[in-house]
Amino acid sequence: MKIENANPGKDISAEDIRTKFPLAAKKHASDHSVVKVGNVSIGEREIVTMMGPNLVENRSMIFSIAEWAKENRVSILRGGCFKPLTFPYRGVKYFETGLQGLKWLSEAGKYFDIPIVTEAVSESQVPLVAEYSDMIQIGTRNMQNFPLLTTAAKTQKPILLKRGFGSSLRDFLGAAEYILLEGNSSLVLCERGIVAPHTHKSTSRFLLDLQIIPAVKEISHLPIITDPSHATFWAPWVKPLALASIAAGADGVMIETHVDPRNAAVDPLQALDLTQSSDLVQFIHSIAKLVRE
């Protein structure tokens, strides 16, 4: 396929590829970037799993999950510390742990020798997140917070850029370009569900856009993973959509794993327990074997 003619007549033109996101676009059909996070490579044959709790609630829970992650050959430990919480009121069931959480996560990652990823919600948090973590997550609500993108990119740390839940692929690649323009090519994209006409009803909060996986692969060299936990908002649907993501060509998945999902402080309905998470890891590698070998 000639990249120049990618998607003729669609919302991404050959001119966009040339002038708006030349760094995010691939030059040759076979171009694909590999991003290193610690000793993990994202965008190669091996599927990457990023698993852990929505919120690093306390030291013992993150140590238990990190130990489980290591035993189950999970690639990267995820955990929120600075959270973009939807509602401003905080309580015993809805809080963030900030710098303290970041220190616990970092300690657990080092103890079990597993790289960690966590979100920076604002520019002022970037230096701390860069100091303690192996990869900086930019959340869906900040995909077009351009000063934040630039500040995070300048650290030269690997970046996980989540797609804005109302953003087109064109906007997504525009945001990616801000990061690449800082000379930071350690960039991984993440589809985490978009708002569609039927969402925000009783069925689902977001719709996982599986179609963006081949679309990204057609235009860009960047690796892409999905986050079916945030998309479905509903634990029973996480496994089918994680497996569908891998079958559709994703380079990995981000999954919420909790020691006691029903009592999770944030988003209790979407987390898998450790047994369900171990089962999912096995299935992910089985599907990957089928589609990647």
Which of 115, 139, 228, 261 lies at the binding interface for ligand PEP (CB under 6 A)?
139
**166 counts as binding ligand PEP under rule CB under 6 A:** no
Write down the residue that tokens 């009121």 correspond to.
89
CB of 141 to ligand PEP, least distance (A): 6
- 57 makes contact, choosing from Mn ion, ligand PEP, none, with CB < 5 to 8 Å by partner type, with none
Binders of ligand PEP among residues 233 to 292 (CB under 6 A) are none
Which of 53, 80, 101, 164 lies at the binding interface for ligand PEP (CB under 6 A)?
80
Considering only CA atoms, which of 172, 143, 144, 168 is closest in space to residue 25? 172
CB-based contact 50:252 (threshold 8 Å): yes
In terms of CB distance, is 227 or 251 closer to ligand PEP?
Answer: 227
Which residues, in sequence order, are CB contacts of 235 under 8 Å at separation 6+?
229, 261, 269, 270, 271, 272, 276
| String marking each residue 64-103 x if it binds Mn ion according to CB under 5 A | ----------------------------------------
| String marking each residue 219-258 x if it binds Mn ion according to CB under 5 A | ----------------------------------------
In terms of CB distance, is 156 or 263 closer to Mn ion?
Answer: 263
Which of 206, 227, 267, 280 lies at the binding interface for Mn ion (CB under 5 A)?
267
CB of 192 to ligand PEP, least distance (A): 4
CB of 232 to ligand PEP, least distance (A): 12
Which of 22, 84, 147, 183 lies at the binding interface for ligand PEP (CB under 6 A)?
84
In terms of CB distance, is 215 or 225 closer to ligand PEP?
Answer: 225
**54 counts as binding ligand PEP under rule CB under 6 A:** yes
**140 counts as binding ligand PEP under rule CB under 6 A:** yes
Residues that bind ligand PEP (rule: CB under 6 A) add up to a total of 9
Scored b (16 or more CB within 10 A) or e, 23-49 reads: bbbbeeeeeebebebeebbbbeeebbb
CB of 114 to ligand PEP, least distance (A): 17
CB of 162 to ligand PEP, least distance (A): 4
CB-based contact 272:279 (threshold 8 Å): no
In terms of CB distance, is 16 or 119 closer to ligand PEP?
Answer: 119
In terms of CB distance, is 262 or 292 closer to Mn ion?
Answer: 262
Which of 192, 217, 239, 258 lies at the binding interface for ligand PEP (CB under 6 A)?
192
Q: What angle do CA 47, 245, 253 make, to 5 degrees?
A: 50
Binding region for Mn ion (CB under 5 A): 267
Binding region for ligand PEP (CB under 6 A): 54, 80, 84, 139-140, 162, 192, 227, 230
